[in-house]
Chains A and B, each alone.
Chain A
């Protein structure tokens, strides 16, 4: 039994523990982990998502109970202050001395703060921990202008964060271009143009000489060239420095420019001590990405396990990311620094994109690349470089817009040892094995089996291609049948119904299905019929398909009674309307409650009571609220510019218009909308399937948000739209969802399943990339034009009304429904209360 002490519980430190556990090294050994931050390991790569509402808990990399269950001692908020190599002990900041057999340093790095006078003023920050972000957020509340020092990868991340916080944002960079390490001059210029067009001020070739009190803002930054910039908030993000102070004080060898020197086993100059991650220095290099750190963690764990040992031989630092919404990628020798390197570049001034490849002197192999604005070729280029796949005879073809399939590199061109996921070191061979030997047929199971695409996720598209290709080769047809009656997905059924003009379930079953149907395919078909043809749900050939909620046009409650919910568009209701609802609820003794969708629910109506209740509501001018349907529910609104002193637009008016436009629209699942009159967002539009927030210049459109069981913050889809454009986009968006979503799939889940996500959706809806928008609009206008209130049509049709009785052979009500009173209203009786009541009646 040995004692392993790990100093540092960051991403790499935690990964190392996971590696030990996966090798069962935690069973016979004593493992102690020190972490100085107030929480266990979290995903620093996704740190910026904290500003989009991701919580500290969601960022956590540690399953609750993980350390306890594996009997690993995790000492949070505890620092190691000294290492004694002679006695093989560490001293913690509470004075405790603990012996080790093997020590692993995973101390990470700190942001580099340039030695500028005034750099420690209040309102100066770094960007590394959740605590840093909390401090920036709280300071930003009283700030107008924010400035990032450092125009590298992390600096631009920080700039994005400041912009998200609503600050006027500036970036100050010492070098003459942005991302000086990863990309070349021209690419830097393209990136600069793109970022400037987003409203971020870029100041390159600027050395800050001091920070003092500002005249109009909190700080004044003075530059070496005499210029000045006033700002309220400064974030230093000018690179990282390895945390090597512990190693230094115990006499371990360091790299020339810092970092704990390691050999190919990740071993320091002391054979009992290893260093992994950003604190380590191999061959004079520091590796400031997470993937090489994970690789080192695995190497050390393998060594401790005495198993076949991988050696550290450097790491490909290629990277692809989104900076301020701009796609940027750097592959291999991006600067063309290797001797004999030749380059090809495409500079598209129209859309501002830029691509450059660096190739070998004989034009045979790809050595590196830089992509700005469009990174769709990243996966292919990376694999070409890593696997030395020969370039086509015209090397520039690989970055020219694809004109034929042949150009793109199919999964078959990759060798089995090609690394697909560098975060988890998964090769193409591993993926193929999992598919062949473990019977994997979908991406989620492939992810949980091999961990592929669960790190940064950058390889997900390529992984899916390999999966599909492999399944096709093995002749495996993936069973995506809706149910035993239809060997089709919902999307396929939709297509069949639409193109073959099928109007009844009988016809659908006869042409494309078997058996009688079931509770899965019947409502699915009913929903598609309604989306396409909008015929009445209770027509004889459709009645038997409807779920009970749609069959009785009300939500069935636990005791078999129904709720009654009239539509209140935008939540606006007159006093007379309220009185009508109150009068009816009182007359039929219904329980009333205000809903989250800004209307009134009435509960406890028996089937036989539904028609008279609805007749009274309709006579008073109400319509059905579709609270029972997989369809548009409500468009919530705040009071907007009509009354509110902050309102930018008439949110109530727009909400009413939208609710009346889309009411009755049947879809794969329910749809919720909201309109807010300003950014204070009182109607919570960003938690809806479709949200609108009014701006000074028009409307911002948000899509695919969700509350409920699996909350999802909506994505900003388009900004400052005029009303007509907004409505056109919503028409297309909803119809595209109806066309392509799976059954009972909310927009939030649908969005996540869309290949290409938000960008793809924008291309389809805004740029008509599939050339279907006019069709989508036509389909929508058909549904809107054929709208009728289902309840009104029902009470006017004696044949339909006939079904609204509990007994087919008697006019009595359901005597099985029993209520008791609570807080002045009815509620269903509990089991015990029922027995008591029944005993009393029979007595």
Chain B
């Protein structure tokens, strides 16, 4: 698995997201303060085609961490990429790792 370093953990305000550019891709990274982990999914909102998901609000449904699109509030499961409000849509998720405060992501 090839890891690509994105930023330091401090660059992400706890319980918010940021967008990373990797090649042509826009990828959203979310820092969950409760579990101290970073989760990554596509940043392009499939409903509007706009690059905005990292700016959505993090939440939980049951025990599952989610993000709600800032445009029309559709929720996405941050672990599976499934859209909770539209079964037909699943976003790509990406493996992440935090080591020595550096956040890395794997595209493989």
Q: Which residues of A contact B (CB under 8 A)?
A: 484-485, 515-519, 522-523, 540, 543-545, 547-548, 551-552, 556, 558-560, 802-803, 806-810, 812, 814, 816-817, 831, 834
Nearest chain A residue, comparing its CB with the CB of B45: A560
Nearest chain A residue, comparing its CB with the CB of B44: A816
Assess the A552–B55 pair: CB atoms within 8 A: yes
* Contact among A484, A523, A544 for B13, CB-based, below 8 A: A544
Assess the A556–B55 pair: CB atoms within 8 A: yes
Give me 18 A-to-B residue pairs in the complex whose CB atoms sit less than 8 angstroms apart, sorted by A's number: A515-B59, A516-B59, A517-B58, A517-B59, A517-B60, A518-B60, A519-B56, A544-B33, A551-B16, A552-B55, A560-B55, A560-B71, A802-B11, A803-B13, A809-B22, A810-B21, A814-B26, A816-B26
**Contact partners of B101 in chain A: CB under 8 A:** none
By Cβ-Cβ distance, the 5 closest A-B pairs, closest first, are A518-B59, A544-B15, A548-B70, A516-B60, A560-B50
CA of A545 to CA of B59, assembled, Å: 10
Cβ of B52 < 8 Å from any Cβ of A?
yes
Assess the B48–A559 pair: CB atoms within 8 A: yes
Assess the A516–B58 pair: CB atoms within 8 A: yes
Chain B proximity of A373: nearest CB distance (Å): 49
Assess the A807–B70 pair: CB atoms within 8 A: no
Assess the A812–B21 pair: CB atoms within 8 A: yes
Assess the B65–A516 pair: CB atoms within 8 A: yes
Cβ of B89 < 8 Å from any Cβ of A?
no
Cβ of B1 < 8 Å from any Cβ of A?
no
* Contact among B16, B19, B22, B65 for A544, CB-based, below 8 A: B16
Q: Scoring B residues 10 to 27 as 1 if CB is less than 8 Å from chain A, else 0, what string do you get?
A: 011111101111100010
**Contact partners of B19 in chain A: CB under 8 A:** 806-808
CA of A227 to CA of B69, assembled, Å: 75
Nearest chain A residue, comparing its CB with the CB of B11: A808
**Contact partners of B58 in chain A: CB under 8 A:** 516-517, 544
* Contact among B20, B48, B73 for A809, CB-based, below 8 A: B20
**Contact partners of A548 in chain B: CB under 8 A:** 52, 55-57, 70
Query: Are A516 and B32 also in contact (CB < 8 A) when A540-B13, A552-B55 are?
Result: yes
CA of A807 to CA of B57, assembled, Å: 18
Assess the A522–B21 pair: CB atoms within 8 A: no
Nearest chain B residue, comparing its CB with the CB of A526: B57
CA of A519 to CA of B70, assembled, Å: 9
Chain B, interface size: which category? 35 or more
CA of A522 to CA of B15, assembled, Å: 11
Cβ of B51 < 8 Å from any Cβ of A?
yes
Cβ of B93 < 8 Å from any Cβ of A?
no
Q: Scoring B residues 34 to 74 as 1 if CB is less than 8 Å from chain A, else 0, what string do you get?
A: 10000000001000111110011111111101101011010
Assess the B34–A816 pair: CB atoms within 8 A: no
CA of A516 to CA of B65, assembled, Å: 8
Cβ of B6 < 8 Å from any Cβ of A?
yes
**Contact partners of A560 in chain B: CB under 8 A:** 48, 50-52, 55, 71
Cβ of B29 < 8 Å from any Cβ of A?
yes
CA of A558 to CA of B48, assembled, Å: 7
Extra 9 A-B pairs, beta carbons < 8 Å, given A519-B68, A558-B50: A484-B61, A515-B60, A516-B65, A518-B60, A518-B68, A560-B71, A806-B19, A807-B21, A808-B18
Cβ of B7 < 8 Å from any Cβ of A?
yes
* Contact among A515, A519, A552, A559 for B50, CB-based, below 8 A: A559
CA of A810 to CA of B20, assembled, Å: 8
Chain B proximity of A834: nearest CB distance (Å): 7
Assess the A518–B20 pair: CB atoms within 8 A: no
Chain B proximity of A518: nearest CB distance (Å): 3
**Contact partners of B51 in chain A: CB under 8 A:** 560, 806, 814, 816-817
Chain B proximity of A57: nearest CB distance (Å): 32
**Contact partners of B14 in chain A: CB under 8 A:** 540, 544
Interface of A is mostly: loop
Q: Count A/B pairs, Cβ under 8 Å.
A: 105
CA of A544 to CA of B18, assembled, Å: 12
CA of A516 to CA of B58, assembled, Å: 8
Q: Scoring B residues 61 to 92 as 1 if CB is less than 8 Å from chain A, else 0, what string do you get?
A: 11101101011010100000000000000000
Instruction: Specify which of B11, B14, B66, B70 lies most central, judged by the most chain A CB atoms within 10 Å of its CB.
Output: B70
**Contact partners of A558 in chain B: CB under 8 A:** 48, 50, 71
Assess the A556–B21 pair: CB atoms within 8 A: no
Nearest chain A residue, comparing its CB with the CB of B73: A519
Assess the B55–A809 pair: CB atoms within 8 A: no
Nearest chain A residue, comparing its CB with the CB of B16: A544
Nearest chain A residue, comparing its CB with the CB of B6: A809
Assess the A519–B59 pair: CB atoms within 8 A: yes
**Contact partners of B7 in chain A: CB under 8 A:** 808-809
**Contact partners of B15 in chain A: CB under 8 A:** 516, 544
**Contact partners of A515 in chain B: CB under 8 A:** 59-60, 63
* Contact among B21, B57, B60, B66 for A523, CB-based, below 8 A: B57
CA of A807 to CA of B21, assembled, Å: 6
**Contact partners of A807 in chain B: CB under 8 A:** 18-21, 26
**Contact partners of A812 in chain B: CB under 8 A:** 21
Query: Are A808 and B20 also in contact (CB < 8 A) when A540-B14, A816-B51 are?
Result: yes
Assess the B20–A816 pair: CB atoms within 8 A: no
Assess the A831–B68 pair: CB atoms within 8 A: no
**Contact partners of B16 in chain A: CB under 8 A:** 543-544, 551, 803
**Contact partners of B60 in chain A: CB under 8 A:** 485, 515-518
CA of A543 to CA of B29, assembled, Å: 16
Assess the A516–B73 pair: CB atoms within 8 A: no
CA of A515 to CA of B58, assembled, Å: 11
Instruction: Specify which of A543, A544, A812, A817 lies most central, judged by the most chain B CB atoms within 10 Å of its CB.
Output: A544
Chain A proximity of B55: nearest CB distance (Å): 4
CA of A560 to CA of B15, assembled, Å: 20
**Contact partners of A484 in chain B: CB under 8 A:** 61-62
Nearest chain A residue, comparing its CB with the CB of B103: A808
**Contact partners of A814 in chain B: CB under 8 A:** 26, 51
Query: Are A522 and B49 also in contact (CB < 8 A) when A808-B11, A808-B18 are?
Result: no
Chain B proximity of A524: nearest CB distance (Å): 11
Nearest chain B residue, comparing its CB with the CB of A812: B21
**Contact partners of B73 in chain A: CB under 8 A:** 519
CA of A459 to CA of B26, assembled, Å: 59
Assess the B34–A547 pair: CB atoms within 8 A: no
Nearest chain B residue, comparing its CB with the CB of A558: B48
CA of A523 to CA of B70, assembled, Å: 12
Assess the A809–B21 pair: CB atoms within 8 A: yes
CA of A484 to CA of B62, assembled, Å: 8
Nearest chain B residue, comparing its CB with the CB of A543: B13
**Contact partners of A834 in chain B: CB under 8 A:** 49
**Contact partners of B44 in chain A: CB under 8 A:** 816
**Contact partners of A556 in chain B: CB under 8 A:** 52, 55, 70-71
**Contact partners of B61 in chain A: CB under 8 A:** 484, 518
Chain B proximity of A605: nearest CB distance (Å): 14
Chain B proximity of A522: nearest CB distance (Å): 6
Chain A proximity of B52: nearest CB distance (Å): 4
Query: Are A808 and B12 also in contact (CB < 8 A) when A518-B60, A518-B66, A552-B55 are?
Result: yes
Chain A proximity of B64: nearest CB distance (Å): 10
Assess the A831–B49 pair: CB atoms within 8 A: yes
**Contact partners of A809 in chain B: CB under 8 A:** 6-7, 20-22
Nearest chain A residue, comparing its CB with the CB of B43: A816
Chain B proximity of A811: nearest CB distance (Å): 10
Chain B proximity of A641: nearest CB distance (Å): 45
Nearest chain A residue, comparing its CB with the CB of B57: A519
Chain B proximity of A514: nearest CB distance (Å): 9
CA of A485 to CA of B59, assembled, Å: 10
